Structure 1
Amino acid sequence: MEKKYKPVALIILDGWGLRGNANGNAIVLGDTPNFDRWTRTLERSVLDASGEAVGLPDGQMGNSEVGHLNLGAGRIIYQDFTRINLAIRDGSFFENEVLVTAVNKVKQNAGKLHVIGLFGEGGVHSHSNHMYAIMDLANKKGVEPIVHVITDGRDTPPENGLKYAQTLEAYLAKNPGVAATVCGRYYTMDRDKRWPRTKLGYDLIANHVGSDGRTAVSVSEAL
């Protein structure tokens, strides 16, 4: 007789975490009878979902992308974030063949190196330190970086954009480079194929269509 197997479901609850402190803890304070019953009656284990346990730097918050990559892997999957950090630390970042070739090409053709990226410390899609490393590489090669700032109000608090703009301007005051545009990720990183929204970010960067600001800080304050 053919053996019948019961189905097994892998159910991912994004954002569901376990923490003993009930203060501000919606999961502990909420009415969750099914989850409470499973906790009482079924075998279970608890996994760390942040920091070094999932291939991120110590103390770095986890996120859905990182969690999905590590599920079922049976080992730590070191994230791009961590690998880039290590490359910057040991200096191999500044010898990366693709990056060095690109910067040298710009210099040979007396061109401009446009650096476009999400500024912030969220560590999900980017990190400001990586942007500064690219600018450092350009400056070492004698190429002035033209920076297009995308502010992050999703993986970092919305008001933090001002802090990152101030840090960028302090860097540019000591190093060659210029902040050319500032725009929020709501426009430039829309994932729902809303072209009228994305077009605003595209026109700003490609066609200089937007509101003029004297500094990255003044624009961030306006945003």
Structure 2
Amino acid sequence: MRLLLVEDDLPLAESLLALLTQAGYAVDCVHDGASAEALAAAEQFDLVILDLNLPQMDGLAVLRAMRNRSNLAAVMILTARGAAEDRVRGLDLGADDYMAKPFDVREFEARVRSLLRRQAGLRSSTVTMGALTLDLTSRQFTIHDQPLDLPPRERALLELLVVRAGKVVTKEAIVQSLTTLDDILSDNAIEQYVSRLRRRIAPIGLGLRTVRGIGYLLEKAAEGG
């Protein structure tokens, strides 16, 4: 899943970027409101983590611009402005969560996971498809309760496919979800990841069907191979 981190405190931004990247998310990071507003308008994100006291453009103005464009990305406000009126204003403008600094890192991670589950339309912390289970807390897969070890990119792709099981996931959506502005993910690379995942899940009766010219569909193999 792809995140946008907007934070002008550079040490904190670097710390959160490392934390989120290590958790397996694709994260773009900017340090001012104008850059955040432009990036949110041009790219698709699952979650925006937004400071309020930003140079060039206030965080609430960024949020207002996003919602005025009907941008449906989840937004977590992460700020030192913890007064009740600031919380009310942020939530009324369309923020999904509001967290005041300083904060507990474990709570921050839990809130990120909760917002991403909600964004994906999931209520449970686990998603099961046949013998395959995804734990959204640890972001790990098991098959028949045994760990499934995957390289980070393949794990991220399988997570996207499982969360959207039964729906066609376009190549554009894969690129948007798995990469940042600094990454390149070619069609050939996507096809290689898909081929490897097919071999992994075929023995448990799951299939990855290619929808020509569009993308891929994760389904029970009996439903169409």
Q: Same fold (TM over 0.5)?
A: no
Larger strand proportion, structure 1 or 2?
2
